[in-house]
Structure 1
Amino acid sequence: MASSFLLFQAAAVTSLVGMTLGWRGVMTKYSGFYDLPTAWSNVFWGILVGGVYASYSHNAILAPYLRLVMDGSSAIPNPFDLVLVCLATSVAAHFLLRRERVRSGSSHPTSGWALGLAIGAMLGMIHLYRVFEGYDTLLSMKLWITVLGIGIFAPRSEALICCFHGQLMLQGRRWGAVLRSTFWRCAYLSMFAYAVHSLLAWVFIIPFVLLVNRRADEWIWDSIPSESKKRLRKMWARQVREQRESLQRGHESE
């Protein structure tokens, strides 16, 4: 297998690609109608929180699980460690989404999406590095399915959790948001650890993420002020008209 430096670079690039896809999927759609500086601030904090979260989740959950299923170790991952890591991350995300600059613009869902993308990218990077280390060759279909799955869906899963957390905070359900985020974070972290060992996990992960992803548009839409919604509808209508006119001109030129 390649050197540790190259493996780390491959893991980092894959996670950044997944983070970019997550940004383009939602944040680009509403570009200009949310607080972009606050979103980028949350990306920075997400990298810091995500680095700690990824390191502890690897040491407490992923590494013991892989030793259990691959080496026959008698030690099993401690469920208390799983809950503690996920709860601490949810509390950290909660306090970041309680900052004045987030509350003043009611940008909890968009800030949560940006925060979650960064946290998930860091988680994916650390876990992917461990995945690469576990293979003797790059010519493995299972390896690349796992790499693509974690690289794409780890940032998006965290983004969905943090966006949902922000939506609940907008509704005034502050500590309920922490508990729900902790539950979903425990669930997806367990499934991603299982996915490193078995491709069957993606049969459950992918449909669920795609299903919940539809709700993200609703959560972000609810956070946009009424005047901005009107301008956004007008902009979308204008874009549709321009596309139709360009198609008509293309047909006429033929």
Structure 2
Amino acid sequence: MGRISTAFDRLRSENRKAFVAYIMAGDPDLETSLEVMRGLPEAGVDIIELGVPFTDPMADGGTIQLAGQRALAGGQTLARTLDMVRRFRADDPDTPIVLMGYYNPIYNRGVETFLKDASEAGVDGLIVVDLPPEEDSELCLPALAAGLDFIRLTTPTTDDARLPTVMQNTSGFVYYVSITGITGAAEADPQAVAPDVERIQTASGLPVVVGFGVKTPQNAEAIASVADGVVVGSAIVAKIAEGKPVPEVLDFVSSLSDGAHRA
């Protein structure tokens, strides 16, 4: 089994929910973001979601967009992001890492080259938000063949007619977007989320983690109580944007993971 499946098996055996933390690679600079990344597992993070900066991040709200701009201005590239993963893996062989981003940088590098480099670096899964299932032959199927999980986003507007198509080549887990909109928007509502999570669990047979609109330990606990896990991104990235010292950022992450693990 891969690291993602192993992590969810371990969490199930411990009767705990997954806490997934997102940071942008290279924000505010390469070394600081690597220092934060290295501290995430000890802060209670079960899966790391590492953003790949891109010039046209259509699914991201202002907080993540600005993080990407800072990273790009500092010279962050897909190659440097993969190098971050390699450096992280030198000390941590176990924590799953999912790259989240857009297809253009991967296409630019070449799918075959990217998948080879990502696998060798220690990447476990991909979330590519601008490739629909109709384009699975572009990246999804080659990624699965290379041993990388391909994780889909589902939303409140993914109805029963569309869901089987979205799920057909999904692996690892399903990322449920709790709100209609962009990252960092309104707070997620667990009562509204619960029925869709159950519907997607049934359709996919995979763990379902919920992201977008999760900002506080209390909200993380509430959302995790109705799902298999919770993702927090913008709230963590905002702390980095404020220039908080790394230990303070990681303390905040610990408070969120404590909330998720209480569920």
User: Does TM, scored on the shorter chain, surpass 0.5?
Assistant: no
Hey, which of these two has a bigger chunk of helix by percent?
Answer: 1
| Larger relative contact order (CA 8 Å, sep ≥ 6) | 1
TM-score, with length taken from structure 2: 0.26
TM-score, with length taken from structure 1: 0.27
